[in-house]
C-alpha cells in the first residue's frame, strides 16, 4: 500500500500540517501580544517563551508512562482540543484587557503540558497507522509539511497580526487545533494493547533502560542530547549576530531563518532515497558531519562584515542556514523512522517522551549558555565553540556503531 492510499495516514497528515502552521503563527503572535498589546519587555518575552517548555523538563518521563497507558488517538484528540480552548481563553482575556504576564505564563504552562503529551503520543501513533517498512517515508512527508510551515508560517503569522491583531491571530490558531482534533477523532486504526499499570518509577526505569541500553539507540540518544545543546547555542548566537553584529532588522532575520526551512524541504524530499542508498546510519552520520561546516559559513559572515561587505555577509549566513536546514531535513525522517521501527509498541510513548524531555532540557541549558558566551567572549569565539561542539558530535556519531544501523535492509 502506498501512503496516499492510506486514508488514516492522510487524515493524520492533514491534521498535523494544519496544527504546524498554527504553531508558528502562535509563536509570533505571542511575542507581539506581550510587547505590543501588554507593553512587556524583552525579559517578559523570554519568561513567556520559557513557560511553554517547563513541562518538558519537569514532566517528560512521567508523560511517557502515561502515554503508554492510554490509547494514543484519544490523547491526541484531547490535547488538540485543550490547546485550542486555552488559546481561545488567551484571546478573550486579551480583548477584555484583563490578562497579565503571570496569567499568560500560567496558561502557557498548561499549553506546554498538553503539547508535551501531544508530541509524545504523535510520535508514537505513526507506527499504528503505517507498516514499519514505510515509517521513514511517512516521517519524511510529515517533516516536509513541518518544514513548509517553518518557512511560511512566520510570514503568514506576521500578515495576520498586522491585519487582525495578535489576539485574533491566536484565535486563528485555536481554530486550527480544534480542526486538527476533529480530524484526529475521525481516524480509523487498530489500537495497540495498553500497558498494564504498575509502579510509576518501575515503568520510567523500563523506558530509560530501553533507550540507554540498546546497542544503537543509546548512541543516538546521547549524541542527540549533545547536538541539541550545541544547536540551541548556535541559534541563540546566530540571532544576536544577525540583529546586533550585522545590523539587520527583524524582518530580514525572519527571511534568514526561513532559509533553513527551504533547505529542510529539500532534505526531507531526498531523505528516504538517501536512506535506501547508504543505509540509515550512514545517512544520519553524513547529516551530523554537515552541521559544523554549515555554521562555518555563518562564522565567515562575521569576517566578511568587518570589510563592510554586508551583502556578502548576508549571502554567507543564508548559505549556512540552507545547508543547516538541509542536514536537518535529511536526518529527521531517518532518525524518527528508525526509533519507531526498533521500539516495541508498549515502549513507544516512554521512548519518545524520554528523548524529547532530555533534548528540551539541553535547550534550556544551551540557549542561555550561548548568549552568555557571546556576551563574555564575543560572537566569533562563541560561534566557533558551537562549531567545535557540532563537529565533535558528527565525528562521534560517524565513528560509533550507530553508523551501521539499518531498517530491514532499508526497504523504505
Listed by start position, the domains of the chain span 1-187, 197-412
pLDDT computed for residue 221 by the predictor: 92
- Cβ(8)–Cβ(134) below 8 Å: no
Lowest mean pLDDT among 184-198, 233-247, 375-389: 184-198
pTM (2 d.p.): 0.75
Residue 307 has pLDDT above 60, yes or no: no
Average pLDDT over residues 264-283: 87
As its CATH architecture, domain 1-187 has Up-down Bundle (1.20)
Lowest mean pLDDT among 187-201, 301-315, 369-383: 187-201
User: Residues of the chain with pLDDT > 90: what percent?
Assistant: 18
Average pLDDT over residues 332-360: 83
pLDDT computed for residue 244 by the predictor: 74
pLDDT range class, residue 30, cuts 50, 70, 90: confident
pLDDT computed for residue 412 by the predictor: 37
Check for a shared fold between 1-187 and 197-412. yes
pLDDT computed for residue 190 by the predictor: 61
Number of H helices, E strands in the chain: 14, 0
Residue 390 has pLDDT above 60, yes or no: yes
- What is the maximal distance between C-alpha atoms in the chain? 65
Residue 226 has pLDDT above 90, yes or no: yes
- Higher per-residue pLDDT: 397 or 306: 397
Average pLDDT over residues 261-265: 84
pLDDT computed for residue 410 by the predictor: 40
- Higher per-residue pLDDT: 159 or 106: 106
Arithmetic mean of pLDDT over the chain? 82
**pLDDT digits over 394-412, tens only?**
999 999 988 888 776 444 3
Residue-wise burial string across 180-210, b where 16 or more C-beta atoms lie within 10 A, e elsewhere: bbebbbebeeeebeebeeeeeeebbebbbeb
- DSSP category for residue 308: T
- Cβ(393)–Cβ(227) below 8 Å: yes
CATH superfamily of 197-412: MFS general substrate transporter like domains (1.20.1250.20)
**pLDDT digits over 71-92, tens only?**
888 889 999 999 999 999 999 9
Amino acid at each position: 500500500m502506498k501512503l496516499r492510499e492510506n486514508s488514516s495516514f492522510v487524515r493524520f497528515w492533514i491534521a498535523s500540517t494544519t496544527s504546524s502552521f498554527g504553531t508558528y503563527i502562535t509563536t509570533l503572535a505571542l511575542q507581539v501580544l506581550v510587547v505590543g498589546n501588554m507593553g512587556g519587555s524583552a525579559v517578559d518575552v523570554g519568561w513567556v517563551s520559557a513557560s511553554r517548555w517547563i513541562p518538558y523538563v519537569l514532566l517528560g518521563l512521567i508523560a511517557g508512562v502515561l502515554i503508554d497507558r492510554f490509547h494514543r488517538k484519544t490523547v491526541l484528540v484531547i490535547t488538540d482540543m485543550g490547546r485550542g480552548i486555552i488559546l481561545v481563553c488567551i484571546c478573550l482575556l486579551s480583548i477584555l484587557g484583563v490578562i497579565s504576564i503571570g496569567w499568560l505564563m500560567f496558561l502557557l504552562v498548561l499549553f506546554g503540558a498538553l503539547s508535551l503529551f501531544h508530541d509524545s503520543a504523535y510520535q508514537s501513533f505513526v507506527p499504528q497507522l503505517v507498516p514499519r517498512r514505510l515509517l521513514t517515508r511517512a516521517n519524511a512527508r510529515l517533516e516536509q509539511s513541518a518544514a513548509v510551515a517553518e518557512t511560511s508560517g512566520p510570514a503568514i503569522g506576521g500578515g495576520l497580526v498586522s491585519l487582525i491583531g495578535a489576539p485574533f491571530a491566536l484565535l486563528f490558531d485555536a481554530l486550527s487545533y480544534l480542526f486538527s482534533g476533529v480530524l484526529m477523532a475521525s481516524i480509523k486504526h487498530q489500537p495497540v494493547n495498553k500497558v498494564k499499570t504498575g509502579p510509576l518509577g518501575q515503568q520510567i526505569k523500563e523506558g530509560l533502560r530501553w533507550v540507554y541500553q540498546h546497542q544503537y539507540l543509546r548512541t543516538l540518544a546521547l549524541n542527540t542530547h549533545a547536538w541539541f545543546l550545541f544547536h540551541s547555542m548556535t541559534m541563540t548566537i546566530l540571532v544576536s549576530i544577525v540583529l546586533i553584529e550585522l545590523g539587520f532588522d527583524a524582518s530580514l532575520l525572519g527571511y534568514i531563518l526561513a532559509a533553513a526551512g527551504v533547505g529542510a524541504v529539500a532534505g526531507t524530499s531526498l531523505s528516504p532515497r538517501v536512506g535506501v542508498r547508504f543505509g540509515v546510519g550512514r545517512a544520519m552520520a553524513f547529516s551530523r558531519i554537515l552541521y559544523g561546516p554549515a555554521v562555518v559559513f555563518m562564522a565567515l559572515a562575521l569576517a566578511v562584515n568587518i570589510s563592510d561587505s554586508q551583502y556578502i555577509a548576508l549571502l554567507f549566513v543564508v548559505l549556512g542556514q540552507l545547508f543547516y536546514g538541509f542536514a536537518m531535513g535529511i536526518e529527521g525522517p531517518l532518525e524518527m523512522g528508525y526509533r519507531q521501527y526498533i521500539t516495541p509498541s508498549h515502549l513507544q510513548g516512554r521512548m519518545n517522551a524520554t528523548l524529547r524531555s532530555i533534548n528540551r532540557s539541553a535547550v534550556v541549558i544551551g540557549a542561555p549558555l550561548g548568549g552568555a558566551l557571546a556576551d563574555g567572549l564575543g560572537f566569533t569565539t562563541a560561534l566557533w565553540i558551537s562549531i567545535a561542539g557540532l563537529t565533535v558530535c558528527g565525528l562521534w556519531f560517524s565513528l560509533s556503531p550507530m553508523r551501521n544501523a539499518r531498517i530491514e535492509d532499508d526497504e523504505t
